[in-house]
A = this chain, B = another copy of it.
Amino acid sequence: MTFQGMWADLLPVGRRADGGYQRFAWTAADMQCREWFRAGAARRGMDVETDRNGNLWAWLGAPGPDAVVTGSHLDSVPGGGAYDGPLGIVSAFAAIDALDRSALRRPLAVVAFTDEEGARFGVACLGSRLAAGVADPERTLALKDPDGTTLAEAMRAQGHDPSYVGPDPEALQRIGLFVELHVEQGRALEAPVGLGTAIWPHGRWRYDFRGEGNHAGTTALADRRDPMLSYAMTVLAARKRARLGGALATFGRVHVDPGGTNAIAVAVTGWLDSRAPDEATLAAVTAEIEQQAAERAARDGVTLTVTTESTSPEVSFPRVTLDWAAGVLGDPPRLPTGAGHDAGVLAAAGVPTAMLFVRNPTGVSHAPAEYAEEADCLAGVAALTRLLTAAAC
Contacts and interface: CB of A to CB of B under 8 A. Distances in A.
Given A217-B340, A337-B217, A365-B214, A252 B243 contact: no
Interface in A116-134: 117-119, 122, 124
Copies in the complex: 2
B243 A339 contact: no
B337 A263 contact: no
Contacts of A214: 363-367
A116 to B, nearest CB: 11
Contacts of A257: 79
A281 B340 CA distance: 50
Overall SS of chain A's interface: loop
A215 B235 contact: no
Interface stretch (A171-179, A226-234, A325-333): A226-234
Interface stretch (A3-11, A38-46, A265-273, A377-385): A265-273
A259 B236 CA distance: 17
A261 interface: yes
A261 B266 contact: no
A215 B186 contact: yes
A102 interface: no
A208 to B, nearest CB: 14
Contacts of A256: 252-254
Given A79-B213, A369-B213, A186 B218 contact: yes
Contacts of A119: 260-261
A103 interface: no
Contact of A204 (B20, B77, B261, B264): B261
A220 interface: yes
Interface string A166-186: 000000000000000000111
A275 B262 CA distance: 11
A195 to B, nearest CB: 16
A248 B214 CA distance: 13
Interface of A: 20, 77-80, 84, 117-119, 122, 124, 184-188, 200, 202, 204, 212-221, 223, 226, 228-229, 231-233, 235-236, 239, 242-243, 248, 250-254, 256-266, 271, 273, 275, 309, 337-340, 363-369
